[in-house]
Amino acid sequence: MTDDIAQRKMQFLFALRSKGVTDARVLTAMEKIDRGHFVKGLFAERAYEDTPLPIPCGQTISQPSVVGLMTQALNVSPRDKVLEIGTGSGYQAAILSQLARRVYTVDRHRRLVAGAQEVFTALDLANVTAFTADGSFGLPDQAPFDRIIVTAAAEDAPGPLLAQLKVGGIMVLPVGQSDTVQSMIRVLRHENGFDYEELRPVRFVPLIEGLARDN
Ligand code: SAH
C-alpha cells in the first residue's frame, strides 16, 4: 500500500469518528472492508472520501458516515440473520457480513447483484448472498429476520418488511419523498406492535417497485 492510500484510509476512519460513528465493532468492520473494492472506474480514486458516489444503473454507493451510522443504529449481534434491501455496490452488505451470522441482500437490478456477488466471492465473504428481487416484498423464503436495513427511501416502512421482522428485531430505513429530505428511522418490534424513532435527516435514492427493466 502506498503512503498516500494509507493516509487517505486514516482520514477515512477519522471522518467516520468525527461524524458520530463511535461503535468499536462498526469501526473495525469499516477498517477491514476496503471501500475501494466497491467503487469502479472514474470515481475509484475518491473511494475514501466521505461522500456518496455514482455506481452503475444510475444508483449511488452511500456516504460512508451514513453507512456507519445506520449500521450502528441497527445494533447487530454476531448471531443475527440480517436482510438488506438495496444491494447497490454491496458495500453496506459487506460491512454487515463482519457483524452478523448471515446476511441476505436484494436489489432490483440484476447487474448490481452480479457485481456485488463477485466482490463478496473475491473477498471470501461466505456469509453474504445477493438476490435479484423487488425488496418491497422482503425475502419471504428466508424470513423472519433479526435485523432489516433498507438503503433506498420509501414513503413509509413497507408492510411485508415489518411482517418479516422478528419480535425483538430492529429495522433501520430512510422514509420520506425522494425529492425532499428524508428521515432515517428505527423501528423496534415488540410483543404488541412497533415503536418508531426518528434518528436524523438523510437523502437516499427512492425505493422503486418491481424489477428493473434493464434486467
Ligand atoms: N446499500 C448500497 C447503496 C444502495 S443505493 C451500497 O452499499 O452500495 C439503493 C439501491 O436500492 C439501488 O441499487 C436500487 O437499485 C435499489 N432498489 C431500489 N428499489 C428497490 C426495490 N424495490 N427492491 C430492491 N432494490 C431496490
Residues 97-127: pLDDT tens digits? 999 999 999 999 999 999 999 999 999 999 9
In a domain? residue 148: yes
For 11-50, the three-class secondary structure string (H helix, E strand, C coil) is HHHHHHHHCCCCCHHHHHHHHHCCHHHCCCHHHHHHCCCC
Q: What is the per-residue pLDDT across 147-194, written as a single tens digit (0 to 9) for each?
A: 999 999 999 999 999 999 999 999 999 999 877 889 999 999 999 999
The CATH number of the domain holding residue 196 is 3.40.50.150
Query: Mean pLDDT throughout 135-150?
Result: 98
CA distance 45 to 80: 34
Q: Does 78 fall in a domain?
A: yes
SS3 59: strand
Residue 60 lies in a domain: yes
Count of residues in the chain: 215
Q: What is the pLDDT of residues 64-102, one digit of tens each?
A: 999 999 999 999 999 999 999 999 999 999 999 999 999
Q: How far is Cα of residue 34 from the mean position of the Cα atoms in its chain?
A: 15
CA of 192 to the centre of ligand 1 (A): 30
Cα–Cα distance between 215 and 212 in angstroms, integer?
6
User: What mean pLDDT do residues 47-72 have?
Assistant: 96
195 has pLDDT over 90? yes
User: Considering only CA atoms, which residue is closest to atom 2 of ligand 1?
Assistant: 88
Residue 215 lies in a domain: no
Domain residue limits at 39: 3-202
Q: Please report whether residue 214 resides in a domain.
A: no
Measured CA to CA in angstroms, residue 161 lies from 14, 71, 127, 189 at distances of 34, 18, 21, 11
Q: What is the Cα–Cα distance from 66 to 51, expressed in whole angstroms?
A: 9
- DSSP characters for 90-102? SHHHHHHHTTSSE
State residue 127's pLDDT score.
98
Active site residues: 62
pLDDT tens per residue, range 10-39? 999 999 999 999 999 999 999 999 999 999
Q: Which of 59, 105, 172 has most ligand 1 atoms within 8 Å of CB, for mutation?
A: 59
pLDDT, mean of residues 4-11: 88
Q: Which residues of 163-202 are buried (b: 16+ CB within 10 A; e: fewer)?
A: ebbeeebbbbbbbbebeeebebbbbbbeeeeeeeeeeeeb
Tell me what pLDDT residue 159 has: 97
> What is the residue with the minimal CA distance to atom 13 of ligand 1?
88
The Å distance, Cα 84 to ligand 1 centre, comes to 9
Position 178 in a domain: yes
User: Residues 207-213: what's their mean pLDDT?
Assistant: 92
Q: Whose CA is nearest to atom 19 of ligand 1?
A: 207
pTM for the full model? 0.97
pLDDT value of residue 3: 75
Our count of domains for the chain comes to: 1
Instruction: Give the closest residue to 128 by CA, choosing from 109, 105, 151.
Output: 105
Question: Ligand 1 site: residues with CB under 6 angstroms?
Answer: 59-62, 85-86, 88-89, 91-92, 106-109, 112, 134-136, 151-152, 205, 207-209
Spatial distance between the Cα atoms of 6 and 65, rounded to a whole number of angstroms: 19
Q: What is the pLDDT of residue 193?
A: 97
Within a domain: residue 68? yes
Examine residue 210 and state whether it is found in any structural domain, yes or no. Answer: no
Nearest atom of ligand 1 to the alpha carbon of 60: 5
Which ligand 1 atom sits nearest the alpha carbon of residue 94?
7
Closest to 64 in 3D by CA, of 75, 76, 78, 53 = 53
Per-chain mean pLDDT for the chain: 95
